[in-house]
Structure 1
Amino acid sequence: MADYGSELVGSSPTIEALRRLIEKIGRSPTRTVLIYGETGTGKGLVARMIHQVSSRAARDFVDINCAALPASLLESELFGHEKGAFTGAVDRKMGLVEAANQGSVFLDEIREMDLTLQAKLLTLLDTQQFRRVGAVKPVKVDVRFIAATNKVLLSEVASGRFREDLYYRLQVVAVNLPALRDRRDDVLTLARHFIARFNRSYGRTVRGLAPEAEDIFLRYSWPGNVRELENLLERIFILEEEDIILPRHLPDRILRNVIKPGDIPAEAPGDGGGDYHAATEAFQRGLIAKALSEADGNPGDAARALGLSRHALRHQMIKLGLLQS
């Protein structure tokens, strides 16, 4: 999973409060933390930040996706195994929990853990001891467990898919990560952050988002959250060559989501007047008209406000029927 830096990006009140909460949890002695958040909200980043501000920061932070492995392999990954414990176990193997002694273990998608393995994890949380697969003697460890899920675990408990006792053991301290649509003040800050990063990694000099693209970014709901925003911008860096990001660089799914039927003028010409192409043109006409009005009709000032050259603005106005060629 791609992270958006070593720290949370944004200055909204929600993110400021989240930073303070991470600091409190990280510096506390609690051994369990549960992180809730939709896909793409940065659960792995927050888990790592909790580790980095803790007294455990000098020791290992290990992460494992509980949905990535079947139960038998996941148990071996977490707890290790003894030589001969199963076919193919030709040597003793140290598990991730033991490797993270005095550090932190991040269990992503904890809901996907098998119920039998959930019981073994509960025993470990209660006793700070576990047995390698095939072992008799327990191993004692000092580990903080940070679990994450995009599910409502209490509903999973009610349906029998998650152990109630483990839920309450993990729920001692819970962190709820906001969806990007709930902190729209941070959208453009995040976009600038990613553009600066991709300029460095791709050797580019993209200046940023054109004003009409900024408007679309602010109106879009970002169902994939920060990860979707990051991936979109990287795709644009790979496929497009302009030094500014324009609405035409955005995928159709975003334009369809943002531009509503009400944005299309009733007199929109052509058989396809009700489709998103017509809506896009209507949207662009409105932006250009607004920029010209605010610039008192000065095309040079309007072009600068839109992030376009004067020639590009003239070309766009001719294309949209706002100016005769």
Structure 2
Amino acid sequence: MADYSNELVGNSPAIDSLRRLVNKVGRSPTRTVLIYGETGTGKGLVARMIHQVSTRAARDFVDINCAALPANLLESELFGHEKGAFTGAIDRKLGLVEAANQGTVFLDEIREMDLTLQAKLLSLLDTQQFRRVGAVKPVKVDVRFIAATNKVLLSEVTSGRFREDLYYRLQVVAVNLPALRDRGDDVLTLARHFIARFNRAYGRSVTGLAPETEQILLRYPWPGNVRELENLLERIFILEEENEILPRHLPDRILRNAAGPADRTLVPAPTDDPTDYHAATEAFQRELIGRAMSTAGDNPGEAARLLGLSRHALRHQMIKLGLLKP
């Protein structure tokens, strides 16, 4: 079994507190845990750590992204189905919940789950039993559910997109993951950790970060969090040949940030008339979207996630700002 205990890297007070909480939650008998955290903060890693320190560690840990499948397929993946339950169901299929009996199910992006399926999940949490799609008899299971979201679920409840009763059922224990920008020198600790990993993976001997590079990384706000840092360093390992990571190896978005104000806030790009509210607002939006697209590797779906928008809303805004042709 893989050991994830050494993957939660850092010495900041926020990470020390998180380690203690993970151990307490993992060893407790609670059947539900809710993890909050921005994209890239390591929600999947923390879920696996909770499983690993629990009495369920010898059993399966299964994970599923609730945003990756339409509602009907997600229901079948979770609960399984009987032969003939729907077109194409030529055999009985056991779902992930049944496969994880006495273990852990990790539901990533729980807020994307369809309301009808939320009701079935709530019933399962309350009764510890469910029916496969097309079945009559229920199946009894003993499973811990860890759910994760990058949004405040209470606002989803208020808007009617998430069931209030399910929210309170999941919220028994909440684990909040800190953003990388709030972890101080952990940025450098993580960078050294990833450099050591990529040295092994790529057969390299990169000695580390140049002092100037360290200062630039400390000033960058890391909207993509730990995942963004990891991807950045792997890209440098692939494209660069020097044995020290220099400022010129960093992408423009990070270098531009280093040349700006020392605080970690996004600043609107200058306009011809700084008193023009609409021009300044649009400049800020262009800068924000540009950074998100750069962080996401020009992937609109990931950029929308970073910005907390739907893909449709991001596309509409980019067309409005002249960043995309209709």
Taking structure 1 as the reference length, the TM-score comes to 0.79
Residue in structure 1 matched with residue 74 of structure 2 by the alignment: 74
DSSP 3-state at the match of 1:145? strand
Counterparts of residues 110-149 of structure 1 (less than 5 Å): 110-149=110-149
DSSP 3-state at the match of 1:205? coil
Report the CA distance between 1:86 and its aligned residue: 0.5
Report the CA distance between 1:177 and its aligned residue: 0.3
Conserved? CA contact 2:60–2:100, under 8 Å: yes
Is 2:245 the counterpart of 1:245? yes
What is the alpha-carbon distance in structure 2 between the residues aligned to residue 121 and residue 5 of structure 1? 29
What is the alpha-carbon distance in structure 2 between the residues aligned to residue 5 and residue 198 of structure 1? 19
Conserved? CA contact 1:6–1:49, under 8 Å: no
DSSP 3-state at the match of 1:105? strand
Residue in structure 1 matched with residue 167 of structure 2 by the alignment: 167
Counterparts of residues 288-307 of structure 1 (less than 5 Å): none
Report the CA distance between 1:62 and its aligned residue: 0.2
What is the alpha-carbon distance in structure 1 between the residues aligned to residue 240 and residue 4 of structure 2? 22
Conserved? CA contact 2:216–2:258, under 8 Å: yes
Report the CA distance between 1:5 and its aligned residue: 7.2
Conserved? CA contact 1:6–1:45, under 8 Å: no
Code of the residue aligned with 2:155 in structure 1: it is: S
1:85-134 deviation per Cα after TM superposition (whole angstroms, max 9, x unaligned): 00100000000000000000000000000000000000000000000000
1:189-219 deviation per Cα after TM superposition (whole angstroms, max 9, x unaligned): 0000000000000000000000000000111
Could you list the runs of 5+ residues in structure 2 that have no partner in the other structure? 263-326
Conserved? CA contact 1:180–1:222, under 8 Å: yes
Residue in structure 1 matched with residue 38 of structure 2 by the alignment: 38
DSSP 3-state at the match of 2:209? coil
Report the CA distance between 1:260 and its aligned residue: 1.1
Residue in structure 2 matched with residue 104 of structure 1 by the alignment: 104
DSSP 3-state at the match of 1:184? coil
Residue in structure 2 matched with residue 208 of structure 1 by the alignment: 208
Report the CA distance between 1:7 and its aligned residue: 3.0
Code of the residue aligned with 1:108 in structure 2: it is: D
Conserved? CA contact 2:63–2:106, under 8 Å: yes
DSSP 3-state at the match of 2:106? strand
1:123-169 deviation per Cα after TM superposition (whole angstroms, max 9, x unaligned): 00000000000000000000000000001100000000000000000
Is 2:17 the counterpart of 1:17? yes
DSSP 3-state at the match of 2:245? coil
Report the CA distance between 1:76 and its aligned residue: 0.1
Conserved? CA contact 1:64–1:107, under 8 Å: yes
> RMSD over aligned Cα, in angstroms?
1.3
Conserved? CA contact 1:7–1:49, under 8 Å: no
What is the alpha-carbon distance in structure 1 between the residues aligned to residue 131 and residue 6 of structure 2? 34
Code of the residue aligned with 1:110 in structure 2: it is: I
Report the CA distance between 1:185 and its aligned residue: 1.9
Code of the residue aligned with 2:175 in structure 1: it is: V
How many residues of Structure 1 are paired with residues of Structure 2 in the alignment?
A: 260
Code of the residue aligned with 2:221 in structure 1: it is: S
Code of the residue aligned with 1:248 in structure 2: it is: R
Conserved? CA contact 2:62–2:104, under 8 Å: yes
Report the CA distance between 1:184 and its aligned residue: 1.6
Go from structure 1 to structure 2 and tell me whether the alpha carbon gap of 1:261 and 1:98 turns closer, same or farther (over 3 Å shift).
Answer: closer
Residue in structure 2 matched with residue 269 of structure 1 by the alignment: none
What is the alpha-carbon distance in structure 1 between the residues aligned to residue 28 and residue 40 of structure 2? 26
What is the alpha-carbon distance in structure 2 between the residues aligned to residue 5 and residue 102 of structure 1? 21
Go from structure 1 to structure 2 and tell me whether the alpha carbon gap of 1:248 and 1:171 turns closer, same or farther (over 3 Å shift).
Answer: same
Residue in structure 2 matched with residue 88 of structure 1 by the alignment: 88
Code of the residue aligned with 1:163 in structure 2: it is: R
Residue in structure 1 matched with residue 293 of structure 2 by the alignment: none
Code of the residue aligned with 1:55 in structure 2: it is: T
Is 2:92 the counterpart of 1:63? no
What is the alpha-carbon distance in structure 1 between the residues aligned to residue 201 and residue 189 of structure 2? 19
Counterparts of residues 223-302 of structure 1 (less than 5 Å): 223-260=223-260
Q: What is the percentage of aligned positions where both structures have the same residue?
A: 88
What is the alpha-carbon distance in structure 1 between the residues aligned to residue 6 and residue 197 of structure 2? 13
| Structure of higher CA gyration radius | 1
Taking structure 2 as the reference length, the TM-score comes to 0.78
Residue in structure 2 matched with residue 308 of structure 1 by the alignment: none
What is the alpha-carbon distance in structure 2 between the residues aligned to residue 28 and residue 4 of structure 1? 19
What is the alpha-carbon distance in structure 1 between the residues aligned to residue 261 and residue 136 of structure 2? 67
Code of the residue aligned with 2:173 in structure 1: it is: V
Report the CA distance between 1:6 and its aligned residue: 4.8
What is the alpha-carbon distance in structure 2 between the residues aligned to residue 239 and residue 123 of structure 1? 51
Go from structure 1 to structure 2 and tell me whether the alpha carbon gap of 1:6 and 1:128 turns closer, same or farther (over 3 Å shift).
Answer: farther
Go from structure 1 to structure 2 and tell me whether the alpha carbon gap of 1:261 and 1:110 turns closer, same or farther (over 3 Å shift).
Answer: closer
Report the CA distance between 1:256 and its aligned residue: 1.2
Conserved? CA contact 1:33–1:170, under 8 Å: yes
Code of the residue aligned with 1:203 in structure 2: it is: G
Larger displacement relative to structure 2 (49-58 or 182-191): 182-191
